[in-house]
Amino acid sequence: MPEEARTGSGEQAKQYALERLRRAILQGDMAPAQRLVENELAEQYDVTRASIRAALLDLASEGLVERIRNRGSRVRVVTVEEAVEITECRMALEGLCAVKAAEAATDAQLDELADLGRALSKAVADGDPLSYSELNHDLHARIRDISGQHTAVGLLERLNAQLVRHRFQLALRRGRPQQSLSEHLAMIEAIRARDPQAAEEAVRAHLSSVIDALRAD
């Protein structure tokens, strides 16, 4: 870690703490409802308490942390109801990205999507739900990137950050990867066919299935 971050409050120290905390939450190293004690985190990351407090405020604005009056901060718990609402928002935005991707993708990008489809199929065949979950994330991210719809991408990154734990839970549910595989392959096929309407419909069908799975918890 740079000396400036270790010794100071400054923007660099805050950014360092922010990145470390965000990664810990997204990777599941910090559990939902876990208390985030500023003094402990400052010591752990070797920055000032002011840097931790500023980082926690940023994470609260991202929806990853909640500030509780007179009790400090904790990792925000995203309820099933909230996860459904977030997924409904994703449906509109990711549908738009799929349309744009079908219209704009290069041949090389279409080949990348085909490779991801094969990797997803292999993960299901190998019974590897964690790899499948990561590839699932990679596929959605790649479609967003290909779309070039920067406003939608920015919104989706914030929404998806709140769904990490639900995504892993769904990936580990018996039979879920097998079910969603066909949905993902349909998305890939429609984009590779350069069919915007079919691409949007495939994304919406997939995320409708995700909502049904969330509600089945």
| Fold annotation for 3-75 | Arc Repressor Mutant, subunit A (1.10.10)
Tell me if domain 3-75 and domain 80-215 are identical in fold: no
Instruction: Using pLDDT thresholds of 50, 70 and 90, give the confidence band for residue 116.
Output: very high
Average pLDDT, the chain: 89
Residue with more model confidence, 47 or 163: 47
Question: Tens of pLDDT along 64-104?
Answer: 888 888 788 998 888 889 999 999 999 999 999 999 999 99
- What number of other Cβ atoms are within 10 A of residue 206's Cβ? 21
Portion of the chain with pLDDT greater than 70, in percent: 93
> Rounded to two decimals, what is the model's pTM?
0.74
- Domain residue spans of the chain: 3-75, 80-215
pLDDT confidence of 138, banded at 50, 70, 90? very high
Short-list 132, 140, 184, CA closest to 161: 140
Position 1 scores a pLDDT of: 44
Closest alpha carbon to 211 in 28, 203, 116: 203
Percentage of the chain exceeding pLDDT 90: 63
End-to-end Cα distance, the chain? 41
Q: Does domain 80-215 have CATH number 1.20.120.530?
A: yes
Task: Kindly provide the b/e burial profile for residues 118-133, where b requires at least 16 CB atoms within 10 angstroms of the residue's own CB.
Answer: ebbbebbeeeebebbb
